[in-house]
């Protein structure tokens, strides 16, 4: 079972993940990875790559990106058994313009009016 906590502050060197909740024209933006059947939020392993991940996973080229909060995970997250607490940052992006999505791990994006 995974435990998720929210934090006011942590040392920047502890931040390892980024998750980006995104909207475009009032619709939520979700990505579908090529090897999965589910949709997910853009994100990545290293906090300084949030802008790069947003582009690589959605094709977003014009957007506003704002930090929302810091979180931590402890326990099995569905992919990895986390035996140590790991920390990340949640962002919100308002995407104005999409370009061509790079041919990496994402198959496509979809816009949803509701989550």
CB 40 within 8 A of CB 105: no
Output the pLDDT for position 47: 56
Tell me how many domains the chain contains.
1
Give me the tens of pLDDT residue by residue for the chain, a chain 115 residues long. 789 999 999 998 999 889 999 999 999 999 999 999 999 999 887 656 788 899 999 999 999 999 999 999 898 767 777 788 989 999 999 999 999 999 988 999 999 999 8
Does the pTM surpass 0.85? The reply is no
CATH number at residue 80: 3.90.79.10
Compute how many other C-beta atoms are within 10 angstroms of the C-beta atom of residue 33: 15
Output the pLDDT for position 43: 87
Output the pLDDT for position 79: 72
Q: Which helix (H) or strand (E) holds 115?
A: none
């Amino acid at each position: 079972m995974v435990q998720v906590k929210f934090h006011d502050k942590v040392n920047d060197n502890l931040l390892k993940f980024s998750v980006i909740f995104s909207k475009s024209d009032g619709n939520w933006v979700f990505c579908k990875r090529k090897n999965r059947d589910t949709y997910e939020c853009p994100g990545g392993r290293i906090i300084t790559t949030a802008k790069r991940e947003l582009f690589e996973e959605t094709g977003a080229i014009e957007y506003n990106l704002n930090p929302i909060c810091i979180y931590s995970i402890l326990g099995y997250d569905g992919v990895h058994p986390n035996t140590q607490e790991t920390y990340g940052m949640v962002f919100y992006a308002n995407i104005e313009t999409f370009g061509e999505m790079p041919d990496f791990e994402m198959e496509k994006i979809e816009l949803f009016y509701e989550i």
